[in-house]
Amino acid sequence: MRAEDRSDAALRPVRLTRRFTRHAEGSVLVAFGDTQVICTASIEEGVPGFLKGKGQGWVTAEYGMLPRSTGSRMRREAAAGKQSGRTQEIQRLIGRSLRAVIDLAKLGERQILIDCDVIQADGGTRTASITGAYVALADAVGCLLREGKLSDNPLREHVAAVSVGIVDGRPLLDLDYIEDSGCETDMNVVMTGSGRFIEIQGTAEGEPFSRDEMNRLLDLAGQGIAELIVLQKQALAAA
């Protein structure tokens, strides 16, 4: 059995707490079970050099883990003097996922910087980050609309993400850390509110996987993401 009697196709309890800290234009604490990530969205007027004068905006993301968010303490990346390859992969993925649902031309010459900082990790930190970051981004965009800096909402649709994997031959939704460590195949799926894919990253950790197994995992992911998007909408509907 899975922890807390969870069924194979069930998400862990998901919470999306808006206005978690007070400085950022969007600030969300997202929890997928014991995985907890602070996602903030910061608006900066102006764009990076490579976009100057192109009449469009930019959305980018950074990711980090508190050193003791994990079972044994990891080295602090600021002290090590560099971000790991894993960190860079994840923050690039978060940035791509969010840019896929926003019309950068409509955003104008400004940048929204997303920070996802894991304060407690139990598997699925990157999918929780994307799911929470969308809500923070929506709050920051809401700010711009309310202040009259934007007249037209640049967000095209929702985006959320979930992990799926094959553990002991069974396809499971939303793996926790123990499941993730023991899985044969691990897949992170990023989808939109309209049910289309933004990113699929499937990796055989043990045995290579078949086309059929992939299809079963995508079915599970599609269902999970639909549920996550409902939760995002509920969170954003609250005052």
- Residues forming the site for a second copy (CB under 8 A): 21-24, 27, 34, 36, 38, 40, 42, 44, 62, 64, 66-73, 76-83, 85-89, 91-92, 96, 100, 113, 115, 117, 119-121, 187, 191-192, 194, 196-204, 207-211, 214, 218, 222
Considering the complex, state which of residue 51 and residue 237 has its C-beta at the smaller distance from a second copy: 51
Three-class secondary structure assignment of 14-74: EEEEECCCCCCCEEEEEEECCEEEEEEEEEEECCCHHHCCCCCCEEEEEEEECCCCCCCCC
Considering the complex, state which of residue 128 and residue 218 has its C-beta at the smaller distance from a second copy: 218
Q: Could you tell me the smallest distance in angstroms from the CB atom of residue 220 to a second copy?
A: 13
Query: According to the annotation, is 125 in a ligand binding site?
Result: yes
- What stretches of 82-171 show up as alpha helix (H) in DSSP? 85-99, 104-107, 125-146
Query: According to the annotation, is 127 in a ligand binding site?
Result: no
Q: Could you tell me the smallest distance in angstroms from the CB atom of residue 201 to a second copy?
A: 5
The total number of residues shown for the chain amounts to: 239
Distances (CA, A) of 95 to 17, 99, 100, 183, 218: 21, 6, 9, 27, 22
d(CA 97, CA 83): 20
d(CA 163, CA 57): 30
Q: Could you tell me the smallest distance in angstroms from the CB atom of residue 110 to a second copy?
A: 13
Considering the complex, state which of residue 77 and residue 227 has its C-beta at the smaller distance from a second copy: 77
Q: Could you tell me the smallest distance in angstroms from the CB atom of residue 130 to a second copy?
A: 13
Considering the complex, state which of residue 27 and residue 173 has its C-beta at the smaller distance from a second copy: 27
DSSP assignment, residue 164?
E
Query: According to the annotation, is 76 in a ligand binding site?
Result: no
Binding site residue list for phosphate: 86, 124-126
